[in-house]
């Protein structure tokens, strides 16, 4: 249930933009030959653009020779040359844009694959610490920002650089004194651009973080929509979202408002240079130093020279935004993965189900121990129930058994093998799990039940569904086992989802089973039937059961009573009831 507490977005300090840029370029390196070809085309295209002002100047010179002395053949010739140059340049630019879009598409596809593959290798703790919405924002929004920048900004930068260099060379060939006049304002534009870049970069980082925080909040609210409605807390959620949305909008405004001043300011500085060129050029013309055609060509080249500088000032904002987004993506890619299996780690095979925990202590945060000196022994085929109040450490024990986390002290053994000496994959394959938080995916009911067993036949799936007491419900559906479940099981009830996950666990042929409140969403009658089916199916296999309904674990071979991270009692149901201790009080509180 969302609270009314402060949920302000976190602020991010400026990161190493150069490092992010190098990593983006490393993705482009795979497509270096297409990029090289496109770069060459950009050079040729800009060369055509640069010829245009030269042709225009010659045409003007031919037309301004004097009354009655206009050489129309020369004027039309240079006019045709100028048209051909601009047409060829335009076609090449179209080809370059299409090519860079394809390169960008391939880069972001690979980047998304790398991010998703990385997510599959991250420890459970990463997902405990980060909002799902923020992770999704990095996979979608942030990578899209990088892709858009690659598709457009890279071409513009290449084009701008070639245009600036080429225009400068052509202007030097026309008149060096006029070039000196133009260069008076260039240092001002460069200094201003660098100064504003340092100021806008952290603002774009903050904007990306604010959008990630907002996406995380929205994902949480969608997940808890029914709870929000049940508590009539719509107004509170709207207030929370309004504040977070306002913070995101402010971050967007701060970044773009400051960034948008760069283009007009640099344009103003460039126009000052153009005015100076016009004034000095007019004097040079009067003095006979340059002719009218040269002044015209020089002015056109100066516009081509200053135009890209103005564009770069605008593009640099998009680049900083892309770098800020890329930093968030690369920080995810740099997250530490699950600790690798030790060299020559053993692969568990033919597990009997002998599990033992010796003097285990663990805390999620250094210095804050959750479990204290836990000792647990489960012989093959035994059912071990773990009970206790909320927050006592029951689920933590399961996390350690599955090695979602490693113990801080002590050791856990499976068939005499310390679990840190065996491969995680083989360890986890020895367990089947049914959790209170059920997970189903978009697909048929058959696909969802057969998820854990590759190549399962329809007969095996039906047998598991019958054992889980959901076969009758499935057969009442229009397409039976071919019925498609919507995303996250939105078109079936929680109880039906839980029965599907139970059927999935029953089909999965393992030697050990973990049930974490596995029947919390089914009615009492169905629960008894499922428990009976489970006992039949899991006969001879080791089971760990977390249950709040103590009536469901009375037949357990051993019950561990956990409180504040300590096993305060253990024994059978009858033994614990005779002791009249903590378990007795828990049991009595449910049946008074």
**Residue 390: which CATH number?**
3.40.50.300
Inform me whether the pLDDT recorded for 68 exceeds 60: no
| pLDDT at residue number 413 | 93
Question: Is there a single domain that holds both residue 261 and residue 130?
Answer: yes
Position 74 in a domain? no
Name the band, by pLDDT with cuts 50, 70 and 90, for residue 530.
low
Name the band, by pLDDT with cuts 50, 70 and 90, for residue 410.
very high
Write a three-state SS string for 275-322. HHHHHHHHHHHHHCCCCHHHHHHHHHHHHHHHHHHHHHHHHHHHHHHH
Question: Is there a single domain that holds both residue 374 and residue 275?
Answer: no
Angle at the Cα of 144 from the Cα atoms of 139 and 145, rounded to 5 degrees: 115
* End residue of a domain, out of 333, 364, 391: 333
| pLDDT at residue number 225 | 65
Question: Is there a single domain that holds both residue 389 and residue 243?
Answer: no
Inform me whether the pLDDT recorded for 13 exceeds 50: no
Question: Is there a single domain that holds both residue 216 and residue 245?
Answer: yes
Question: Is there a single domain that holds both residue 287 and residue 355?
Answer: no
Question: Is there a single domain that holds both residue 378 and residue 266?
Answer: no
Name the band, by pLDDT with cuts 50, 70 and 90, for residue 69.
low
Position 340 in a domain? no
Position 56 in a domain? no
Position 303 in a domain? yes
Instruction: With 0.75 as the threshold, say if the pTM is over it.
Output: no
Burial class (CB within 10 angstroms; exposed 0-12, middle 13-18, buried 19+) of 143:
buried
Position 508 in a domain? no
Quickly count: other Cβ atoms within 10 Å of residue 196's Cβ: 20
Position 30 in a domain? no
Question: Is there a single domain that holds both residue 314 and residue 381?
Answer: no
| pLDDT at residue number 412 | 93
Question: Is there a single domain that holds both residue 158 and residue 273?
Answer: yes
Instruction: Assign residue 229 the CATH number of its domain.
Output: 1.20.1560.10
How many helices (H) and strands (E) in the chain?
21, 12
Question: Is there a single domain that holds both residue 125 and residue 232?
Answer: yes
Inform me whether the pLDDT recorded for 265 exceeds 90: no
Question: Is there a single domain that holds both residue 182 and residue 263?
Answer: yes
Paired sense of beta strands 542-546 and 512-516, if any: parallel
Choose from 2-11, 34-43, 417-426 the range with maximum mean pLDDT: 417-426
Helix axis angle, 17-29 to 143-174, nearest 10°: 90
Position 521 in a domain? no
Q: Which residue(s) pair with 371 in the sheet? A: 362
Question: Is there a single domain that holds both residue 385 and residue 284?
Answer: no
* End residue of a domain, out of 333, 364, 397: 333
Split into its structural domains, the chain has a count of 2
Mean pLDDT value across the chain: 79
Range of the domain at 388: 351-430+548-592
Question: Is there a single domain that holds both residue 317 and residue 370?
Answer: no
């Amino acid at each position: 249930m969302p609270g009314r507490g402060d949920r302000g977005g976190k602020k991010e300090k400026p990161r190493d933009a150069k490092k992010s840029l190098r990593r983006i370029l490393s993705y482009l390196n795979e497509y270096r030959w297409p990029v090289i070809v496109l770069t060459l085309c950009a050079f040729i295209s800009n060369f055509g653009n640069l010829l245009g002002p030269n042709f225009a100047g010659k045409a003007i010179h031919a037309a301004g020779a004097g009354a009655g002395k206009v050489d129309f053949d020369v004027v039309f010739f240079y006019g045709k040359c100028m048209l051909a140059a601009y047409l060829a340049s335009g076609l090449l630019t179209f080809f370059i844009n299409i090519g860079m879009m394809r390169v960008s598409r391939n880069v972001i596809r690979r980047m998304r694959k790398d991010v998703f593959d990385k997510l599959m290798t991250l420890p459970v703790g990463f997902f405990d610490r980060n909002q799902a919405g923020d992770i999704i924002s990095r996979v979608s929004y942030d990578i899209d920002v990088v892709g858009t920048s690659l598709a457009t900004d890279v071409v513009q930068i290449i084009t701008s650089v070639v245009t600036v260099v080429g225009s400068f060379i052509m202007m030097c060939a026309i008149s060096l004194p006029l070039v000196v006049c133009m260069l008076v304002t260039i240092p001002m534009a460069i200094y201003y651009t660098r100064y504003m870049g340092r100021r806008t970069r952290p603002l774009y980082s903050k904007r990306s973080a604010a959008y990630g925080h907002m996406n995380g909040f929205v994902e949480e609210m969608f997940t808890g929509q029914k709870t929000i409605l049940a508590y009539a807390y719509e107004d509170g959620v709207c207030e929370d979202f309004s504040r977070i949305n306002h913070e995101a909008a402010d971050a967007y405004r701060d970044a773009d408002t400051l960034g948008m001043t760069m283009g007009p300011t640099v344009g103003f500085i460039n126009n000052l240079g153009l005015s100076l060129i016009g004034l000095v050029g007019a004097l040079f013309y009067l003095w006979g130093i340059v002719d009218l055609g040269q002044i015209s060509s020089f002015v056109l080249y100066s516009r081509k020279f200053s135009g890209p500088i103005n564009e770069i000032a605008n593009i640099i904002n998009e680049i900083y935004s892309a770098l800020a987004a890329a930093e968030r993506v690369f920080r995810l890619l740099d997250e530490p993965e699950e600790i690798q299996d030790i060299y020559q780690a053993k692969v568990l095979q033919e597990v009997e189900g002998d599990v033992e925990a010796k003097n285990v202590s663990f805390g999620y945060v250094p210095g804050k121990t959750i479990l204290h000196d836990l000792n647990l022994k489960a012989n093959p085929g035994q059912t071990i129930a773990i009970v206790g109040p909320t927050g006592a450490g029951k689920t933590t024990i399961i996390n350690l058994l599955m090695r979602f986390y490693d113990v801080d002290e002590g050791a856990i053994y499976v068939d005499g093998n310390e679990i840190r000496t065996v491969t995680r994959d083989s360890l986890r394959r020895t367990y089947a799990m049914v959790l209170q938080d059920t997970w189903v995916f978009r697909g048929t009911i058959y696909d969802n039940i057969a998820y854990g067993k590759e190549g399962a036949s329809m007969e095996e799936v039906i047998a598991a569904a019958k054992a889980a007491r959901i076969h009758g419900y499935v057969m009442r559906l229009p397409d039976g086992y071919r019925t498609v479940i919507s995303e996250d099981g939105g078109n079936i009830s929680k109880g039906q989802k839980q029965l599907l996950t139970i059927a999935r666990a029953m089909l999965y042929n393992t030697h050990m089973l973990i049930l974490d409140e596995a029947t919390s969403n089914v009615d009492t009658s169905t629960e008894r039937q499922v428990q009976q089916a489970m006992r039949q199916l899991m006969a001879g296999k080791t089971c760990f059961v977390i249950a709040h309904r103590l009536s469901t674990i009375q037949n357990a071979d051993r019950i561990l009573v956990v409180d504040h991270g300590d096993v305060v009692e253990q024994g059978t149901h009858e033994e614990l009831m005779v002791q009249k201790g903590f378990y007795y009080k828990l049991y009595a509180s449910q049946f008074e």
